[in-house]
């Protein structure tokens, strides 16, 4: 009797395994859930945490009251922000009153055209009027280049066997991203400011926008006093190496010190990575300081840029960080900043 029971159990278990294996053989078509995860940060405040390889790329989020919603950042693509607008509609019936751009980089402004079409005001740093539709072209290949990359990905997909599902899914997602990029019209914010604060009211809820230098020189953050939440955009990254292409690390470290001093107990929604605490912001600040110290020493030791890039390896404590492809560019950007040759 016991043997029969065990046999039945074994058969059931192997059936389950077969079903699971079969499930994995099915190619999974790309879908909205692949783009971001909605995380509740406080009452009416949500972070939309981007998933790797999806259409969101950078984090976004929203702040709601009974009377209105403020969307912070517009993701990488129009489709991703439309997915967020749908998700907002599932949480509240209040209308979207404002969108905010934390900075110009495409992974935070790629959905601007959706809000422009809805006649929702888009608020950003005044520098965006110079950079949004010009410097962003470095992140948005032209139509011919997008078509070339798409044809290449389609060719690879056709040559990939049906049972190489991971590879096929990756290529399908790449094609989906390229199609989405082709649909972007770089779109300026409609209202800007460059210093001090800008206060937004949605019903009883107040949201204070402010700027800090360091990441691009045109960054806007949002503080929600009644919930003690700060949306930092790319001024803070959680367990993720940053993009320093436009950065001035020398300004960035004091900006993070100010952020930690002004909001010591806040919850932080970073530009990349999960919802963060002050300790996470401090860890990121210390990464920048560590980078600064290592590169400064390399220069003092007479290392050339190429030698510094080869010899300065990422310290062990950052080995679990995402975006490790930025490790070497971080050395180069820091080196050039310290030499005064960045952007020249
Ligand atoms: Zn970003």
How do residues 208-232 score in pLDDT, each as one tens digit?
999 999 999 999 999 999 999 999 9
CA of 79 to the centre of ligand 1 (A): 17
CA of 190 to the centre of ligand 1 (A): 21
> In the structure, what pLDDT confidence band is assigned to residue 11 with cuts at 50, 70 and 90?
very low
Neighbours of 61 (CB within 10 A): 24
CA of 265 to the centre of ligand 1 (A): 24
Distance CA 39, CA 56 (A): 15
What rounded mean pLDDT belongs to the chain?
Answer: 92
CA of 237 to the centre of ligand 1 (A): 9
Asked if the model's pLDDT at residue 8 lies above 50, the reply is no
Q: The tokens of 256 are what?
A: 């993070």
29-73 pLDDT, tens digit each? 456 678 999 999 999 999 999 999 899 999 999 999 999 999 999
State the pLDDT at residue 33: 78
CATH number of 32-137+186-339: 3.60.15.10
CA of 71 to the centre of ligand 1 (A): 16
131-180 pLDDT, tens digit each? 999 999 999 999 999 999 999 999 999 999 999 999 999 999 999 999 99
Number of helical H runs and strand E runs in the chain: 11, 12
Q: The tokens of 142 are what?
A: 């032209």
**3-state class of 302 per DSSP?**
coil
CA of 243 to the centre of ligand 1 (A): 8
Distance CA 323, CA 241 (A): 5
Three-state secondary structure readout of 76-101:
CCHHHHHHHHHHHHHHCCCCEEEEEC
**How big, in percent rounded to 5, are the helix, strand and coil portions of the chain?**
45, 20, 35
In the chain, what are the domain boundaries? Answer: 32-137+186-339
């Amino acid at each position: 009797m016991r043997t029969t029971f065990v046999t039945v159990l074994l058969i059931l278990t192997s059936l389950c395994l077969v079903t699971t294996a079969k499930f994995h053989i099915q190619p999974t078509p790309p879908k909205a859930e692949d783009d971001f995860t909605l995380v509740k940060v406080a009452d009416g405040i949500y972070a939309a945490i981007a998933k790797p390889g999806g259409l969101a790329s950078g984090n976004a989020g929203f702040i709601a009251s009974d009377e209105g919603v403020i969307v912070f950042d517009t993701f990488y693509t129009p489709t991703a922000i439309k997915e967020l607008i749908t998700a907002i509609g599932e949480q509240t019936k209040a209308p979207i009153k404002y969108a905010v751009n934390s900075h110009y980089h495409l992974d935070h402004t790629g959905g601007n055209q959706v809000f422009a079409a809805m006649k929702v005001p888009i608020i950003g740093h005044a520098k965006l009027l110079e950079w949004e539709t010009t410097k962003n072209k470095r992140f948005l290949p032209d139509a011919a280049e997008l078509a070339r990359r798409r044809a290449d990905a389609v060719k690879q997909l056709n040559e990939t066997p049906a049972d190489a599902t991971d590879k096929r899914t990756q290529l399908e997602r790449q094609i989906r991203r390229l199609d989405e990029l082709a649909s972007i019209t770089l779109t300026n914010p409609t209202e800007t400011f460059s210093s001090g604060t800008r206060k937004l009211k949605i019903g009883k809820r107040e949201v204070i926008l402010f700027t800090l230098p360091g990441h691009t020189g045109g960054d806007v953050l949002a503080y929600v006093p009644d919930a003690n939440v700060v949306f930092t955009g790319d001024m803070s990254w959680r367990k993720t190496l940053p993009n320093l292409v436009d950065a001035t690390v020398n300004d960035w470290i004091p900006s993070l010190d100010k952020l930690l001093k002004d909001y010591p107990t806040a919850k932080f929604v970073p530009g990349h990575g999960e919802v963060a605490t002050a300790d996470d912001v401090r860890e990121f600040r210390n990464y920048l300081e560590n980078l600064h110290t290592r590169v400064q020493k390399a220069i003092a030791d007479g290392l050339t840029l190429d030698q510094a890039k080869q010899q300065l390896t990422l310290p062990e404590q950052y080995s679990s960080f995402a975006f490790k492809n930025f490790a070497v560019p971080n050395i180069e950007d820091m080196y050039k900043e310290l030499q005064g040759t960045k952007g020249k």
